[in-house]
Structure 1
Amino acid sequence: MKKIFLPLILLSFFLAPQFVLAQQDSLRAQIVRITSQSKGIVGVSILGLESRDTLNYNGSSRLVMHSVMKFPIAMTVLNLVDKGKYKLDKMMKVGKDDMHPNTYSPLRDKYPNGTEITLGELLSYMVSLSDNNACDFLLKKIGGPEVVQNYLYGLGIKGINIVASEADMAKAWEVQYTNWCKPTEVVRLLDVFYQGKALSKTSNDFLMKIMTDTSTGPKRIKGLLPSDAVVAHKTGTSGTNDEGLTPATNDVGIITLPNGKHLAIAVFVCNSKADEAARELVIAQISKAAWDVYGN
């Protein structure tokens, strides 16, 4: 019996890497086919957080971030909480002047004349609801984009560039291109976050919760997944100009797979002339293909 069993073990040992490579080749072929619908540039980075399997497609391209930047901003704020500079239950006074009118802001819609709100609630508005006024308030509070950049550099993340606030981007079309990232670096940051290497457990759990509570982009990463799939994610969305060009339709996050493992994924659809439904479908189809391959 042992003489038969040992060769089977050895055979499985040698075949396993080939099986993984075949799966990745299949997924890459699907991604290439799916991205042909984008009428733009698509960047994809995928990492099995337990298996460490990786797959990248235009993963090193510099692509427009938009509100994906709120994920590293949130990590920066929570790092300052861990250092004792702030507390999540600290009350923050957000004035009427902080409620800029011509931007996406559920916070302003609820409190047009300003309000006092906890830091934790502001982070929830910024991440879960992608509130631009909450983002700019917190960015100003911590000292500006350079503080976020320094924090990222300290983590060894050098492929994310944040220099402009939401208000800055709203002033001129070209400014949005100054906030860019490489999909591979966003996934590296998701990995650092997931592994608990940057924040305390309390802060990590809090950020994971508000990312899981994200209500924006339901047709993106989550679009074709089972309704009960757990996805902690952050979207990013630009406007569309008169020529029909949309610089950013993005979604990045951590998917809990059916087998209990986890997948970090970033999909950026940039400089696209496809309509919103097509752009979001590209993200949804790539995410579903990854779910099918890595979830078994």
Structure 2
Amino acid sequence: MMGGWARGLVVSILLTGCVADASVNHRQVYAPAPRQAPAAVPAAAPVAPRPLRHATAPAELVSSINALGRSFNGVAGISVRRVDADWEVAYNGSRLMPQQSVSKLWVAMTLLDAVDRGKLTMQDAVTIGQNDLTLFHQPLAAMLKNGSYTTNLADLYTRAMQQSDNTANDAVLRRVGGPEAVRGFLARRFIPNIRFGPGERLLQSRAAGLVWDQKMSIGRNFYTARANLPRSVREKALDDYLANPPDGAAASAITLALAKLKRGEMLSPASTRYLLSTMEGAKTGPQRIKGGVPAGWAYAHKTGTGQDLAPRSTGYNDVGIMTAPDGTSYAVAVMIASTTVSIPERWALMQGVSRAVAASHR
């Protein structure tokens, strides 16, 4: 039986698009690389790829990851990739799984790439209005006074990455050029098997079996509209979403992108440091992969949580970079597409992966 804290967590994330924590500091300051003319020339280019150390994945880690994947009651994908070597350990690593708020990571990278290329600065002002609100977790909605709130890209980026604020993320997405800009960034960095969906409103409404109406962004209107649907409609919509997720990504592709990020091959050195620092400050999912990361290790990550239709939960994810005290880093992704098991059982899978990585490293 779960204690009061665990029951409270279940309530807090039930039927939401992401997990969040209201204590995040939004005053993070970033000094981007200076602008350079012409704008198409990067102000600070990513590091050119370097040859990786040839090595074989530890046998005990292979055994542990496969055992964890096989024993889990649900559809899950796992990938562990050593950043400075050429090996990966994966279970169901090539299957496209719903990302949910993990996809905010690609929006953040696209934004910082635009900063690197002199297209944007993190101090650029953005005004959020009622028509910009989304659904599920959006603390930014409370900031609207007299119908609008003016802030800057740095604030929105931090809210999106550390609080998983959907409205903040969609505002950044619009500023960088929309879904096509994100897809273009991933293509230029040669990252395969990561889809990027149409934004929170369309993604979540379709997965629920609804047609989006902006009135759904107000209060609990979305929940009410969804609850009024016949269960058969919701089940079909969720089945269709899981069968072909528009935000689907393979766990192996995610760790490839994370490893390239850590090696400095995705963004400029300044933007790489900034993003990793932001991810280390995330408060979401403390009992997911992070719960099994040993003391003395660092963990920079992004979580995602999809919709539930009891007893089924979808898109329960955590991806990030574990760094040992000696500086060795591992990109890790655990993607649970669909399951009926309890949240503590999902935590056990994720913590089992991080503990296996640490044990193998030792």
TM-score range, shorter chain: 0.7 to 0.9
Match of 1:262 in 2: 329
- After alignment, is 216-225 or 108-117 more displaced? 108-117
CA distance in 1, matches of 2:128, 2:188: 30
**Aligned counterparts, 1:241-256, within 5 A:** 241-242=309-310, 244-256=311-323
Aligned residues: 274
Match of 2:252 in 1: 184
Q: Which amino acid aligns with 1:256?
A: T
Q: Which amino acid aligns with 2:331?
A: A
1:63: how far off?
Answer: 1.0
Match of 1:193 in 2: 261
1:164 counterpart (198, 211, 214): 198
CA distance in 2, matches of 1:277, 1:106: 26
8 Å contact 1:38–1:273 — kept in the other structure? no
Match of 2:9 in 1: none
1:41: how far off?
Answer: 1.4
- Residue 196 of structure 1: SS of its match in structure 2? coil
1:45 counterpart (72, 79, 99): 79
1:37: how far off?
Answer: 4.8
Note if 1:286 corresponds to 2:353: yes
- Residue 231 of structure 1: SS of its match in structure 2? strand
Match of 1:26 in 2: 60
1:125: how far off?
Answer: 0.6
Match of 1:105 in 2: 138
8 Å contact 2:293–2:299 — kept in the other structure? no
- Residues 228 and 132 from structure 1, CA distance in 2 versus in 1: closer, same or farther, beyond 3 angstroms? farther
Match of 1:92 in 2: 126
TM-score by length of 1: 0.86
Identify the structure with the greater helix proportion.
1
- Residue 204 of structure 1: SS of its match in structure 2? helix
CA distance in 1, matches of 2:152, 2:273: 17
CA distance in 1, matches of 2:118, 2:151: 19
Match of 1:142 in 2: 176
Match of 1:213 in 2: 281
- Residue 280 of structure 1: SS of its match in structure 2? helix
CA distance in 2, matches of 1:26, 1:64: 29
CA offsets, 1:241-282, max 9 Å, x none? Answer: 13x111211111111113321111111112111122211221
- Residue 234 of structure 1: SS of its match in structure 2? strand
Q: Which amino acid aligns with 2:87?
A: D
Match of 1:77 in 2: 111
Match of 2:167 in 1: 133
8 Å contact 1:38–1:269 — kept in the other structure? no
Q: Which amino acid aligns with 1:249?
A: Y
Match of 1:61 in 2: 95
CA offsets, 1:6-55, max 9 Å, x none? Answer: xxxxxxxxxx97xx55xx33223222333345321121111111233321
Q: Which amino acid aligns with 2:302?
A: K
Note if 1:35 corresponds to 2:69: yes
Match of 2:158 in 1: 124
Q: Which amino acid aligns with 2:152?
A: T
CA distance in 2, matches of 1:127, 1:246: 22
8 Å contact 1:162–1:180 — kept in the other structure? yes
Runs of 5+ consecutive residues of structure 2 not aligned to the other structure: 1-53, 208-236
The percent identity for this pair of structures is 28
- Residues 230 and 119 from structure 1, CA distance in 2 versus in 1: closer, same or farther, beyond 3 angstroms? same
